[in-house]
Amino acid sequence: MKRALAFLCVTLVLSLSQPVLADAVLDGFARDVERAEGVRAVKDLQSSYAQYAQYGLWNEVGALFARDGSFVFDGMIKAAQTSKGSAAIAAFLRTRYGGGHEGLNADDLSTMFIDAPVVNLAVDGQSAKSRWQSIIFHGHGSEARIEGGVFENDYVREKGVWKIATVRYFPQFYGKGEDRLERRILGDRFKYHDKGPVKGGNTPYMQQQMYSLAALAERDADKPFTKPAVAVDPGLAGRPDVTPAAAAASFKAALYRKAVQAELLHAA
């Protein structure tokens, strides 16, 4: 009797626990799907921004922002310009990129490549942050410009719909079509940083290298790229009785011997 009662209790517990386990699995799956859809919605939202901009639909761009959305332009080189609300954001973008009007004229250009996103969704799935690289071509009439920079944006789910909460755009370079971008960047370097040319390179881009500009300048002073790079056996280098060709051949032979020895060691 006791064994039958115990068996009945175990069966009852298992039967009651199965729906709970199943519900937990389904809830987890639903959460993962919703989060994946959230990340995709954020990316689609930014793509819509670029598509509307390409056709000069600045009011539609403004409508992508949340009710209290904001657009912050720069803040690193020049003082930040902040526009709040859909209408103000549309007006700022229309003035800067749209020639002051909606739509495209025959001589208008407003193409934005906004790519390489890094998107982080909040734990509750109701907000997100992202970082994008951009390059922008825009022009009107006889004047054309190119610029590039970084977007650092916030997004929020407003009444179930993903909206842009804040755009922070940091321009890194720009220049007119008839000017060299390097010249424009160099001009900004003088204007905003009060610094002159740096040995080995004039532009901020050239300063973002693996080696210091001084080291690169010292390397290039000897014009290394005009000389053939020939690997020679260090033991034979500089000997007057050995030609460069013979030294190079000896070096290649030594490398071959080491490769054979390594292969034999590996095989053993």
- Could you report the per-residue pLDDT of 130-145, keeping only the tens digit for each? 999 999 988 888 788 8
Q: Does domain 31-179 have CATH number 1.10.240.10?
A: no
250-to-82, 245, 260 alpha-carbon distances in Å: 67, 9, 15
Question: What pLDDT is recorded for position 182?
Answer: 45
Q: Please state, as a whole number, how many other Cβ atoms lie within 10 Å of the Cβ of residue 188.
A: 19
What's the token pair of residue 208?
Answer: 């973002």
pLDDT in tens, 93-120: 999 999 899 998 888 888 999 999 999 9
**Comparing 41-45, 224-228, 229-233, which segment has the lowest mean pLDDT?**
229-233
Q: What is the pLDDT of residues 69-91, one digit of tens each?
A: 999 998 776 788 999 999 999 99
Predicted local confidence at residue 190, as pLDDT:
41
- Residue in the structure block whose two tokens are 């901009």: 53
* pTM for this predicted structure: 0.59
Domain boundaries along the sequence of the chain: 31-179, 228-261
